[in-house]
Amino acid sequence: MLVELTIENLAIIENLSLEFDRGLSVISGETGAGKSITVDALSYILGGKVDHGLISHDKSQCNLVAHFDVSDIPKAKTWLQEQLIESEDGECIIRRVINKEGRSKNYINGQSMPLYALKSLGELLIDIHGQHAHQSLVKDGHQRELLDQYTETDPELTELQGLAREIRKRTEQLNQLKNQDDSMRERVDFLNFQLQEFKNVAPKQGEWESIVDQHNEASHAEEYQEGIQKCLNYLNDDRGVLTQLNRIGQQLSALAKLDEKFKSYADMINEADILCSEVANDLNRMDSAEVDEKTLMRLESRMRELNDLARKHRVEPEELLTKQQDIETEIASQFLSDEAIEDLENELKEYQDQWQKVADKITKKREASIILLNEQITKAMQGLSMTGGAFDIRLNPEKGFGPNGQENVEFHVRSNPGMPFYPLGKVASGGELARISLAISVILSMKSSLPTLIFDEVDTGVGGAVAEMIGKHLQELSDGRQVFCVTHLPQVASFGHHHFAVAKAKSENHTETQIKKLSPEERVQEIARMLGGVKLTEATFNHAREMLTASHSS
């Protein structure tokens, strides 16, 4: 769960540190005070897109830090272990430093990490339901995503997406083969002509480097022989190195009989004598080699042949074999044959059969979940003042072998009893859509394994008894986990186990947002303020106390 949040230089927050507990934490404040700044900060910490205009105008960067306890979050612990940044006490510290130019430095447990790592880990820690979540509820694909989230079809969908990629790949290859036209055949003919040139020349692996070395040796043979002969003279004549080393060795051996310390010197001279003798033997063998003009001519002829072919194909001579292999590969890819088409069709059929099996499994899981989900969301709608309303998820068959299964998902709703069902986006008003979105969020979150859930002003556009039901749902949802709710409704705020108030502190030249955890009596005052009225009376405070008592009495 989220243990602590630190914010520096974000919007009009200079330095703020908040500690959190389990249960339902509500955040309230007057309009414009910055109630959602904590949600924005968490979103940024977990890799969200940053509005750089929110960085304090007189500061170059903002610093955001979130402390989590992942002791009871196995997936997060496994993720940290895989990255080799796990903490022994289950602590996870995510920090993001963002400058005005848009660049950021990101850290997890002190280790510098890329932005996508923050997003990946964040998905295992927190689920944020924004105040405009209902707007995406009618978008294509989002309804399917919500159903699959409830159905828990991630493993099957991952497998299906891989199969869909293979099917698409082989379908494209098959179409390319079948639609091969004259121009492609002309290309194959040209490639075959080029390939024959290579086969005539027959370049070999490492041949160019070998020929260059041989040619260099052959063309400088006389210089080599002259140098070798001089070296042999220095080694072998009466005053040569070998003669002198022999004499020195004899003298040192004689001295070693008188004093043991000269033995090591004698041994070193003997080793030098052996090495020099080996050099002399090798040079003697080289000295016997004769300059072969025919060999030199053959090498030069081969070099010209390889050079001409390389120049023609605009490559270096040592790259000729690679070029030949490229031509052969292209010919193979362009080659049209009934056998190739048949093999590809068989592969495609196998992948399609596998896809169908997985898609059928996904369909069955969706169908089973729809029955329960329809019932739960309908019940939640009734509790949110949509009496007589009902929810119906429908699966519409979809052709092809797509990555999301063999049907699309469409949410239908009935607002009043006796009325037909219509697609959600065509019948629900803005207020109804917000309530249905909240109902779906609550139902899906009940099944979520994430330890921390955030609802950012999801109660916009409702009030009265509906607001009270929202607060009750959120309180029930917080059983055994951590739930945050940014709200402007006293009915919702009264259900919180913890209450944070946001306010602006103003002076003549300075404005700063402050967030404070309220004491029980301060909660009464804040709930009374939220109840409204120009002048707060004792009746307003009594009403606030009654709301707090009632919301925590069950």
| Both structure tokens of 210 | 């070998």
Torsion, CA 370, CA 376, CA 382, CA 384, rounded to 10: -110
What was the pLDDT predicted at 136?
57
Residue type, 38: T
pLDDT at 70: 92
Could you write out the DSSP letters of every residue in 377-412?
HHHHHHHTT-TT-EEEEEEEE--S--TT-SEEEEEE
Could you give the CA distance from residue 294 to residue 297 in angstroms, rounded to a whole number?
5
pLDDT at 389: 83
Task: Report yes or no: 441 and 455 within 8 Å, Cβ to Cβ.
Answer: yes
- Each as own residue / partner, the long-range contacts of residues 389-398 (CB below 8 Å, 24 or more positions apart, any chain) are 389/413, 389/414, 389/415, 389/416, 389/432, 390/414, 390/421, 391/436, 391/439, 392/421, 393/143, 393/147, 395/363, 395/366, 395/367, 395/370
pLDDT of residue 334: 66
pLDDT of amino acid 460: 67
Q: Which of 405, 335, 346, 329 has its CA nearest to residue 170?
A: 346
The distance from CA 520 to its chain's CA centroid, rounded to whole angstroms, is 44
Give pLDDT tens digits along the chain (554 positions): 999 999 998 888 888 999 999 999 999 988 777 788 888 889 899 988 887 777 777 788 899 999 999 998 888 999 999 999 988 888 999 999 988 877 889 999 999 999 999 999 998 898 877 655 545 566 667 788 888 888 989 899 999 999 999 999 999 988 877 776 556 777 888 889 999 999 999 999 888 888 888 877 776 666 777 777 888 888 888 788 888 888 888 888 888 888 888 899 888 989 998 999 898 888 887 755 555 678 878 888 988 999 999 999 999 998 999 999 999 888 877 665 667 788 889 999 999 999 999 999 999 999 999 999 999 888 888 877 777 888 999 999 999 999 999 999 998 988 778 788 888 777 656 666 767 777 777 787 777 667 888 888 776 666 777 788 888 888 888 888 899 999 989 999 999 999 999 988 877 777 788 899 999 999 999 999 988 766 788 889 999 999 999 888 75
Q: What is the pLDDT of residue 89?
A: 86
Q: Which domains does the chain have, with CATH numbers?
A: 2-125+450-551 (3.40.50.300), 185-334 (no CATH)
pLDDT of residue 533: 64
The span from the CA of 442 to the CA of 455, in Å, is 10
Asked if residues 9 and 65 have their Cβ atoms less than 8 Å apart, the reply is: no
Helix 464-477 vs helix 538-551: crossing angle, to nearest 10: 40
pLDDT (tens digit per residue) in 135-159: 556 666 778 888 888 898 989 999 9
Tokens of 131: 């105040």
In three-state secondary structure terms, 3 is: strand
